[in-house]
Amino acid sequence: MKWSTTPTLIFSPRSERTNTGMTKFQNMSTSLLVLAGISVIGLTQEHQENSNLQSPQGLSYNQPSVVGLDGKVIAVTPWLAPIVWEGTFDSVLIDSIYKQQNITIATTVFALGKYTQFLKVFLESAELNYFVGFRVHYYLFTDHPEQVPTVKLGHGRQLTVLKVASSNRWQEITLRRMEKLEKLIESRLVNEADYVFSLDVDTKFYGPWGAESLGRLIGVIHPGYYQTARQHFPYERRPQSQAYIPVAEGDYYYGGAVIGGSVKDVHKVAKTCREQLDIDAANSIEAAWQEESHLNKYFLYNKPSKVLSPEYLWQDFKPHTNEVKIIRFSQVIKNYAAVRPNP
């Protein structure tokens, strides 16, 4: 698939525009290829843009596993993307490499209605664990700016509050997240960040989360289904929906609480999911799990370049398991009836 010859947005590394870290890194990489006798002439813009890991629909293959028969975790997908587990990386080394590149990580959070009560724990725990020592810019969408708590942020970290309209349906709040993310990238993040993560607010960081999570397109395996047969995944099963996935297809069930990657790739995810959500809405269809259903459809046919293990999305009510050695990020226990505006 080729990009339009007249794109509305030009995505290039932010540091490339400021003539800092990433440019030096890219030039060094090109030089190394030349020294190794590898021609870089063929690495055209078209080739780079078509390097996405797209899989044809209807392809038949075995479901990948996350834990082997011997009980050991599996650290690579069948399309050779890393699955990030504790013990598969050196955090000191990889953080040091990325810190030299002068990057900014944008992080979007949605806290509408009574969900503002989770902001303090989210932000305080993030400041202790999330990309510590990196430039992080939180973009908080809320209908109650006056309820945003004052949290001391570390050096190079900032918070921008963006007021949005309220909603009397939690499903509607969920459905519009992709649209808000898409527009924010177009209006700001394309010039302000190198990577972006969109995270659920009703969560808490319990352990370090750093540069090992960075990549072109990042998905996280849902903690409730990482050892479930794909025919039992809660995919959207109605063919009338744009999020439809046949029973015989599927890799992993990805959690919608974490979406990440380069600004360009996350924009593509958000735009595609928003368009599919709009088509469903026009046909009076709402996917089983709203944007999470559409995200799983996208990731099935546009493979993530890196997959985060359930360490990066746990649930506080779940007991620890042998394979999950550390819990880095987890959804907190809550009374849904008390925080959601509708059942």
Task: Show binding-site residues.
Answer: 115, 200-202, 222, 292
DSSP H/E element including 138:
strand 135-142
Question: For residues 185 and 179, what is the distance between their CA atoms, to the nearest angstrom?
Answer: 10
Task: Supply angle C-alpha 117, 118, 124, rounded to 5.
Answer: 120
Length of the chain equals 343
Q: What b/e readout covers 114-132, taking b as 16+ CB neighbours within 10 angstroms?
A: ebbbbbebbbebbbebbbe
Question: For residues 125 and 29, what is the distance between their CA atoms, to the nearest angstrom?
Answer: 36
Q: Which residues are annotated as a binding site for Mn(2+)?
A: 200, 202
Q: Tell me whether residue 292 is one of the annotated catalytic residues.
A: yes
**Catalytic, out of 86, 127, 212, 292:** 292
**What is the set of active-site residues?**
292
